[in-house]
Amino acid sequence: MILVDRLDVTLSGKKILNDLSLSIPDGVWSCLVGPNGAGKTTLLKVLLGNTPYSGSVTSNGEEVFRSHQRNVAFVPQQPHIPQGITVAEYVTLGRAKKDGWGNESANSRALIAEILELTHLYGMHKQLVSHLSGGEMQRTLIARALAQEPELILLDEPTSALDLHHQIEVLNNLQFLQERGVTIVSTMHDITLAAMYAERIIVMQSGRVLAEGDAQEIIHSAELRKAFDDRINVFTLDSGRPVIVAKKDGK
């Protein structure tokens, strides 16, 4: 369990996160939603443990910036991809902390083969990452994160560059992971997708948390509308599934 208590983050003299308190249960998929500039990416970086903060952010009772034993994978929105690296090499980077670079164990090699299969990258493992399409690139980033066998995986807008089909494919991969006990925290602009996959939703606006809780309850809450200045419509399909779309001219 991660507990965030009265978190403040100030960057370049500007308060980015303001008196934020929330909890992130283990083994659950939590999704941060809110307008641009709400502080979602900043909160992910705090959870990763590499952004200075005041207040308290503990993982199993230990402040995150001090707990170096944690195995946390981070999939950034704009990753830095080393020049000339192949898919297989990039995914293998996920094992570097465990095995040392260039020194993969037989177990690691078997795991990587399994992950390449799962993420449908097996046939393209020799291709350069820089030559991949958006969907293949995102699958490669996630494959590297999986290779790390993390306890927590943080993803910043994992589907924003993908077409509808590839969005579902990537999110299904993450769900597979979550069903095996990994804790997931993602940001997602598409609230319909957030409601389809996340069990918990955290609504943010202007560096604050407006609401957190069960995804299906939050989707229908006044706080979600408020976060988007009441410029969204929430519909419910016959199947019971919520669909969230932007209003046009107030309708």
Report the residue from 2, 30, 41, 142 that binds Mg ion according to the rule CB under 5 A.
41
- Per the structure block, which two tokens stand in for 88? 């297989």
Residues that bind ligand ADP (CB under 6 A): 11-12, 14, 16, 34, 36-42
Q: 251: helix, coil or strand?
A: coil
Q: How far is the CB of 156 from Mg ion (least distance, A)?
A: 6
CA proximity to 191, closest of 162, 211, 216, 161 = 216
CA gap 120, 176 in Å, rounded: 14
Cα separation, 244 vs 35, in Å, equals 14
Smallest distance from the beta carbon of 15 to ligand ADP, in angstroms?
A: 9
Q: Is 140 in the site for Mg ion (CB under 5 A)?
A: no
36 binds, among ligand ADP, Mg ion, none (CB under 5 to 8 A by kind): ligand ADP
The one of ligand ADP, Mg ion, none whose footprint includes residue 83, by CB under 5 to 8 A per kind, is none
Q: Taking CB under 5 A as the rule, does residue 159 contact Mg ion?
A: no
**Alpha helices by DSSP H, 67-198:** 87-92, 96-99, 106-118, 134-147, 164-179, 191-197
- Residue 69 interacting entry, from Mg ion, ligand ADP, none, C-beta within 5 to 8 Å by type: none
How many CA within 13 A on the CB side of residue 17?
27
* Chain contacts with Mg ion (rule: CB under 5 A): 40-41
